[in-house]
Structure 1
Amino acid sequence: MALLKVSFDQKRRVKLAQGLWLLNWLAVLAGTVVFGLGLFLKVELRKRSDVMGNSESHLVPNSLIGVGVLSCAVHALAGKVCYDALDPAKYAKWKPWLRPYLAACVLLQAALLLAALCCLLLRGSLEGALALGLRQGLRFYRDTDTPGRCYMKKTIDLLQIEFRCCGNNGFRDWFEIQWISNRYLDFSSKEVKDRIKSNVDGRYLVDGVPFSCCNPNSPRPCIQYQLTNNSAHYSYDHQTEELNLWVRGCRAALLSYYSSLMNSMGAVTLLVWLFDVTATTGLRYLHTALESVSNPEDPECESEGWLLEKSVPETWKAFLESLKKLGKSNQVEAEGADAGQAPEAG
Structure 2
Amino acid sequence: MAPVLPLVLPLQPRIRLAQGLWLLSWLLALAGGLTLLCSGHLLVQLRHLGTFLAPSCLFPALPQTALAAGTVALGTGLGGAGASRASLDAARYPPWRGVLGPLLIAGTAGGGSLLVVALGLALVLPLSLDQGLEEGLGAAMGHYKDTEVPGHCQAKRLMDELQLRYHCCGRHGYKDWFGVQWVSSRYLDPSDQDVADRIQSNVEGLYLIDGVPFSCCNPHSPRPCLQSHLSDPYAHPLFDPRQPNLNLWTQGCHQVLLGHLQGLASTLGSMLAVTFLLQALVLLGLRYLQTALEGLGGVIDGEGETQGYLFPGGLKDMKSAWLQGGAAHKPAPEEPPPEEAPPKEDPPEV
Residue of structure 2 equivalent to 1:59: 61
SS, match of residue 199 in structure 1 = coil
- CA gap of 1:242–1:305, structure 2 versus 1, over 3 A, is farther
- The 1-side partners of 2:127 and 2:103 are apart by 36
Distance apart, 1:287 and its partner CA? 1.9
- Aligned residue for 1:253? 256
Q: Is 1:132 aligned with 2:130?
A: no
Provide closer, same or farther for how the CA distance between residues 284 and 243 of structure 1 changes in structure 2, counting only shifts above 3 A: farther
Deviation at 1:86, TM superposition (A): 4.6
Corresponding residue number in structure 2 for 1:279: 282
Deviation string 1:120-163 (CA, Å, 9 cap, x unpaired) is 33112222222222111101111122233222111111111111
Structure with the greater alpha carbon radius of gyration: 2
The answer to whether the 8 A contact 1:217-1:243 is kept is no
Structure 2 residue runs of 5 or longer lacking an equivalent are 321-350
> How far apart, CA to CA, are the structure 1 residues paired with 2:189 and 2:58?
42
Structure 1 residues 223 and 309: alpha-carbon distance in aligned structure 2, compared to 1, 3 A threshold? same
String of CA shifts for 1:232-291, please: whole Å, max 9, x gaps: 110333222355322322111101001011101111221122121221121122123223
Match of 1:9 in 2: 10
Listed one character per residue, the Cα deviations across residues 63-113 of structure 1 (whole Å, up to 9, x for unaligned) are: 111011111223323333323335557655654664554343223234223
Which residue matches 1:327?
A: none
Aligned counterparts of 1:297 and 1:138: Cα–Cα separation in 2? 67
Change (3 A) 1:195 1:305: same
Counterpart CA distance in 1 for 2:235 and 2:29 is 65
Alignment correspondent of 1:83: 85
Shift in Å, 1:32:
1.7
What displacement does 1:202 show? 1.8
Secondary structure at 2:8's aligned position in 1?
A: strand
Q: How many correspondences in the alignment?
A: 316
The structure whose RCO (Cα within 8 Å, separation 6+) is larger is 2
Is contact 1:27-1:275 (8 Å) kept? Answer: yes
**Distance across 1 between alignment mates of 2:168 and 2:298:** 72
Question: For the residues of structure 2 that align with 1:202 and 1:149, how far apart are their CA atoms?
Answer: 20
Q: TM-score, normalised on structure 1?
A: 0.80
Amino acid at match of 1:260: G
1:42 matched residue in structure 2 = 43
CA apart distance, 1:210: 0.8
In the alignment, what sits opposite 1:157? 160
2:304 maps to 1:301: yes
The residue number in structure 2 matching 1:333 is none
Greater displacement, 280-289 / 120-129: 120-129
- Is residue 94–residue 298 contact of structure 2 (8 Å, CA) maintained in 1? no
Q: Deviation at 1:189?
A: 1.8
Q: Secondary structure at the match of 1:304?
A: strand
What amino acid maps onto 2:58 in structure 1?
Answer: E
Alignment partners' CA distance in 2, 1:111 and 1:221: 53
Equivalent position amino acid for 1:37 in 2? C
**In the alignment, is the contact (CA less than 8 A) between 2:18 and 2:84 conserved in 1?**
yes
Out of 235-244 and 294-303, give the one that drifted further.
294-303
**Displacement of 1:21:** 2.8
Deviation at 1:43, TM superposition (A): 0.7
- 1:207 equivalenced with 2:210 (yes/no): yes
Is this contact kept in 2: 1:141–1:179, CA < 8 A? Answer: yes
| Offset from partner CA, 1:277-314 (integer Å, 9 cap, x none) | 2211211221232234499798121113345668xxxx
Counterparts of 1:140 and 1:100 in 2: how far apart (Å)? 53
CA distance in 2, matches of 1:194, 1:256: 40
Residue-by-residue CA offset, 1:137-196 (whole Å, 9 max, x unaligned): 101111122233222111111111111111112222211111001111222222111111
The answer to which structure has the higher helix fraction is 1
Instruction: Judge conservation of contact 1:218–1:243 (CA < 8 Å) in 2.
Output: no
Q: Is the 8 A contact 1:295 1:301 kept in 2?
A: no
- After alignment, is 5-14 or 225-234 more displaced? 5-14
Task: Determine the C-alpha separation between the residues in 2 that align with 1:79 and 1:3.
Answer: 25
Query: Following the alignment from structure 2 to structure 1, what is the Cα–Cα distance between the partners of residues 222 and 311?
Result: 70
2:348 aligns with none
1:147 aligns with 2:150: yes
**Residue 112 of structure 2 corresponds to which residue in structure 1?**
109
**Distance of aligned partners of 1:166 and 1:101 in 2 relative to their CA distance in 1, 3 Å threshold:** same
Q: CA RMSD in A?
A: 2.9
Q: Distance in 1 between matches of 2:97 and 2:65?
A: 31
Matches of 1:101 and 1:42 in 2, distance apart? 28
For 2:144 and 2:159, the matched residues in 1 are separated by: 7
Distance across 1 between alignment mates of 2:39 and 2:117: 14
Tell me by how many angstroms 1:230 deviates: 0.5
Q: Aligned partners of 2:169, 2:299: CA distance in 1, in Å?
A: 73
Task: Name whichever of 226-235 and 91-100 sits farther off.
Answer: 91-100
Calculate percent identity across the aligned residue pairs: 38
Asked if 2 retains the 8 angstrom alpha-carbon contact of 1:294 and 1:301, the reply is no
Structure 1 residue runs without a partner (length 5+): 323-346
